[in-house]
Amino acid sequence: KAGVTQTPRYLIKTRGQQVTLSCSPISGHRSVSWYQQTPGQGLQFLFEYFSETQRNKGNFPGRFSGRQFSNSRSEMNVSTLELGDSALYLCASSPPLPNYGYTFGSGTRLTVV
């Protein structure tokens, strides 16, 4: 059974650019959550999607956005990149009963220079 797939694994972008990250959940998982992980702040919740609808959103500026497609694949976009956006971006998927916990992808390491 394939796990959660995130692409790309690594990205280097320049301040002011925008970036799109992709996440394919485990087959049958319809919920996808996105987190930002930095050494100082730990895992910070960005947003969660279920059946193409954003159900929850964390405390991030509007530069951070996402969407989910009908096949449950999800993308997140960060516009007007800032140096502080450098982080590991993790996607997690969960089964219809989320109390079983999340499965994380390997993450996308974004570096903004």
Partner 1 sequence: QKEVEQNSGPLSVPEGAIASLNCTYSDRGSQSFFWYRQYSGKSPELIMSIYSNGDKEDGRFTAQLNKASQYVSLLIRDSQPSDSATYLCAVMVNNNDMRFGAGTRLTVKP
* Nearest to 24, CA basis, from 6, 47, 46, 42: 6
Asked if 42 touches partner 1 (CB under 8 A), the answer is: yes
How far is 83 from 73, CA to CA, in rounded Å?
27
Residues 65-84 that bind partner 1 (CB under 8 A): none
- Phi/psi at 90 (5° precision): -110, 140
Among 11, 85, 93, 107, binds partner 1 (CB under 8 A): 107
Tell the burial category of 81 from Cβ atoms under 10 Å away from its Cβ (0-12, 13-18, 19+).
buried
Asked if 31 touches partner 1 (CB under 8 A), the answer is: yes
Closer CB to partner 1, 19 or 108, in the complex: 108
Asked if 64 touches partner 1 (CB under 8 A), the answer is: no
Among 26, 48, 72, 93, binds partner 1 (CB under 8 A): 48
How far is 17 from 13, CA to CA, in rounded Å?
7
Closer CB to partner 1, 19 or 90, in the complex: 90
Asked if 59 touches partner 1 (CB under 8 A), the answer is: no
In this structure, the strands spanning 108-112 and 10-13 are parallel
Binding stretches for partner 1 (CB under 8 A): 31, 33, 35, 41-43, 45, 48, 50, 55-56, 90, 92, 94, 98-107
